[in-house]
Homo-oligomer: A and B are copies of this chain.
Amino acid sequence: MTIRNFDNLLKPASVALVGASIKAGSVGSIVARNLLQDGFKGPVWFVNPKYQAIADHPCYPSVAALPHAPDLAVLVTPPPTIPALIEELGEKGTRAALVITAGIRGELKQAMLSAARPYTLRVQGPNCVGLMLPRIGLNASFSFAPLAGDIALLSQSGALITGIVDWARGRNIGFSHVVSLGDMADADFGDLLDYLASDPQCRAILLYMESVTNAPKFMSAARRAARSKPVIVVKAGRSSSGAKAAQSHTGALAGTDAAYEAAFRRAGVLRVRELDELFSAAEILARQPRINGDRLAILTNGGGAGVLATDRLGDLNGNLTELTKATLGALDAVLPPTWSHSNPVDIIGDADAERYLNALEILLGANEADAVLVMNCPTALMSSTPIAQAIIGLVEQRRKQGRSLKPMLATWLGDAASREAREEFAAHQIASFG
């Protein structure tokens, strides 16, 4: 396995867009705009014989005319032009290309790879949305730019990337790398996992996968990556009709699901079933220290909400912690006699911010709880927002004091009544769900 030249792809100092355009709505114009908008510090060169400048930015007639070899070349030109452009780029000294262009199959694909090989030039794509490296301000894609953060996202579906990036922005979650893998003619899951395993800028890796092309490479890279950081996958094509749909989508055979299941388990990769679970995992990973145990304490003002959370915890093989006598006693001392006297800690519908805080202080200090889930059902008695604000205050205070805070998740039910609370949680890096 080689991750040779991946630094050119994932840490480029200069970028050229071949096929840059001014035609409104074209991929060449959107990628050009995105390259200029996100704050990338290195030079961005445009290549297109039709123009002398694009957006007041010089445009060169050919790759040969570029002042230097770009670290990364982004190609959006028609399929038949790609192999010769790769050849020209390799000749000039470029070692990484991002081929956004679709429709490069069969002989054309072989020609592209043959052109790249003598230069060990690495290719991402073809047929992808692009590459986003928000930490260096690079948006080489026709998607919206994500926020900068420390989660990597590798996706075999380009359309999902835009949805995930947009969803994450709304929750103030940022990414280190967003890679649209496309047809994986060269760079694939294995290569990228291998590279990201040792990249300190990336704290967790999310995958959307339809198929693995090189299984041994994937297994070895996944195992290595999962040893150093959480690797979470949505593997689509679980059902036979889903697998058929995946095949029609990317042309790759999805293989039997049981084999994937076993492979993920062996590699230490966490598989989730749906995109919203990938989102939840991203939300938690973005906000929280790693959880060091499975014993959860639940704090709620609604008994029913606590029961539902307990059920779900059971589904996921989590563990509702047994509160010690000391903890129960401490809670008795600060809660009204009607509280549930067990976990979930139901502090009853009229709970105000102070009651939440008193109970939460105790649960965050209880050794028998590895994490705390705080839930709020809106009531007409108590607004949800001040309770959220009080909890944020407590967390911020502990952060400032440098006290190690165990993972705390929030679930604020409702819509309008809890929207403000959810926004405040996001602004203060507390994982919340609704």
Contacts and interface: CB of A to CB of B under 8 A. Distances in A.
Contact of A311 (B156, B237, B341): B237
A292 interface: no
A305 B156 CA distance: 11
Given A162-B379, A249-B340, A156 B238 contact: no
Interface stretch (A10-18, A47-55, A356-364, A411-419): A411-419
Interface string A318-344: 001000000000000000001011111
Interface residues of A, number: 79
Contact of A163 (B141, B143, B156, B414): B414
Interface stretch (A77-85, A165-173, A216-224): A165-173
Given A245-B344, A341-B248, A166 B311 contact: no
A141 B380 CA distance: 9
Interface string A134-151: 000000011110000000
A208 interface: yes
A340 B163 CA distance: 20
Given A239-B315, A274-B312, A302 B378 contact: no
B381 A160 contact: no
A250 interface: yes
* Stoichiometry, copies per complex: 2
B378 A158 contact: no
Contacts of A184: none
Nearest to A159: B302
A163 B303 CA distance: 13
Interface in A292-306: 300-306
Given A144-B417, A415-B171, A166 B307 contact: no
A94 to B, nearest CB: 25
B242 A311 contact: yes
A314 B242 contact: yes
A157 B162 CA distance: 39
Nearest to A433: B276
A155 interface: yes
A226 interface: no
A275 interface: yes
A242 B310 contact: yes
A417 B160 CA distance: 13
Contacts of A346: 248-249
A159 B377 contact: yes
Contact of A304 (B142, B244, B249): B249
Interface of A: 25, 27, 30, 34, 102-103, 129, 141-144, 155-160, 162-163, 166-171, 208, 210, 234, 236-242, 244-246, 248-250, 273-275, 300-308, 310-315, 320, 338, 340-344, 346, 349, 377-381, 413-418
Nearest 8 pairs of A and B residues by beta carbon: A157-B304, A159-B302, A239-B314, A170-B415, A249-B303, A163-B413, A166-B414, A159-B377
23 contacts: A25-B381, A27-B381, A144-B378, A155-B304, A160-B308, A162-B378, A166-B413, A166-B416, A166-B418, A236-B308, A239-B313, A239-B314, A242-B308, A242-B310, A244-B310, A244-B342, A245-B307, A245-B342, A246-B303, A248-B346, A249-B304, A250-B303, A273-B315
Given A160-B308, A236-B311, 4 more contacts: A166-B378, A249-B307, A273-B315, A274-B312
